[in-house]
């Protein structure tokens, strides 16, 4: 990613969704009070799409109150998991709107941190599903996308200890792995311990010690990314 590169994204493909529109969020006074109730959407994205294979560095629509990536990039991003890209998109230098889950929802965790990719306003005159407040398409830390999440289950109020989806180290591009290990002593130590405890295992039936070592590596990666560790551009950007 440019910007001392900090992006790489992943997501699971979802079912076709309606044309997305952006959503106006509460004003500054409301946000200060912790309000996060969705309100009326704004105009559709108007900014040009990012170049394929390169991370977007700006909001699709600078005038919208939700900062989301260009729609064409989101389509590519959510076609399959992009673990490396996700880490870059969650970098503190990226402008995209962060949100959090109010409670556990299917595979999503309570207080899980996500990026808002799109907001779908309720269709006028159609059958109302859920609260009728619209839905979000969201990016998780593991590089997968969760589509059609009801608006009332999402908030922009940051919880005291945001949680993340489980990062898949073996899906992180080699260049990004090397950068994380070189830049963070915590990642370096956690990676070394995971190697000793897991003996090359990526998933499946592993020991409790391996599970703990893997969790420690994930925590170290999240801390490094949130601290602004620069990741290189990789060749797996959607």
Q: Is-contact 119 38, C-beta < 8 A? A: yes
Among residues of the chain, what percentage have pLDDT more than 70? 74
Alpha carbon distance 58, 202 (integer Å): 35
**Which one, of 164, 173, 146, lies nearest residue 82 by Cα?**
173
pLDDT at 4: 44
Three state DSSP letters for 36-80:
CCCCCECCCCCCCCCCCCCCCCCCCCCCCCCCCCCHHHHHHHCCC
**114-165 confidence digits (pLDDT tens):** 999 999 988 776 665 555 789 999 999 999 999 999 999 999 999 999 999 9
**If you search the block for the tokens 């997968």, which residue do you land on?**
144
Q: Which distant-in-sequence residues (6+ apart) come within 8 Å of 32 by Cβ?
A: none
- pTM here? 0.76
Tokens of 216: 């420690």
Domain map (residue ranges) of the chain: 169-226
Report the C-alpha dihedral over residues 192, 194, 200, 201, rounded to 10 degrees.
-170
């Amino acid at each position: 990613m440019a910007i001392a590169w900090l992006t790489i994204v992943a997501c699971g493909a979802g079912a076709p969704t309606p044309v997305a529109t952006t959503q106006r969020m509460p004003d500054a006074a409301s946000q200060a009070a912790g309000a996060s109730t969705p309100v009326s959407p704004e105009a559709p994205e108007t900014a040009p799409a990012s170049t394929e294979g390169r991370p977007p560095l700006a909001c699709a629509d600078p005038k919208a109150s939700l900062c989301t990536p260009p729609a064409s990039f989101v389509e590519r991003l959510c076609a399959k998991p992009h673990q490396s890209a996700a880490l870059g998109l969650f970098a503190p230098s990226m402008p995209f709107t962060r949100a959090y889950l109010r409670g556990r929802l299917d595979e999503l965790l309570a207080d899980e941190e996500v990026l808002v990719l799109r907001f779908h306003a309720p269709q006028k005159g159609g059958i109302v599903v859920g609260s009728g407040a619209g839905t979000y398409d969201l990016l998780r830390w593991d590089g997968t996308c969760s589509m059609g999440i009801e608006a009332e289950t999402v908030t922009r109020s940051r919880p005291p200890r945001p949680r993340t989806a489980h990062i898949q180290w073996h899906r992180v591009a080699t260049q990004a792995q090397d950068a994380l290990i070189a830049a963070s002593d915590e990642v370096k130590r956690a990676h070394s311990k995971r190697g000793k405890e897991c003996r090359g295992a990526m998933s499946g039936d592993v020991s409790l010690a391996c599970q703990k070592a893997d969790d420690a590596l994930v925590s170290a990666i999240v801390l490094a990314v949130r601290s602004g560790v620069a990741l290189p551009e990789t060749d797996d950007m959607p």
